[in-house]
Amino acid sequence: MLGLPFASFMLLFVLPGLVLAPMFYYSWRLRKGTWD
């Protein structure tokens, strides 16, 4: 019952996460001083 519609919803979580991940990675490099 919650097949396809439910999958489309997961985009709400997965897609923002994909954009957030590189920001956290570079943020961590900023702290380590390996990125400017």
* Interface contacts to other proteins, rule CB under 8 A: 1-2, 5-6, 8-9, 11-13, 15-16, 19-20, 22-24, 26-27, 30-31
29 and 35 Cβ atoms separated by less than 8 Å? yes
Whole-number Å distance between alpha carbons of 19 and 36: 19
Cα 15 to chain center, whole Å?
A: 6
Smallest gap from residue 35 Cβ to other proteins (A): 10
CB of 18 to other proteins, least distance (A): 9
Work out how close the CB of 21 gets to other proteins at its nearest, in angstroms, rounded to a whole number. Answer: 9
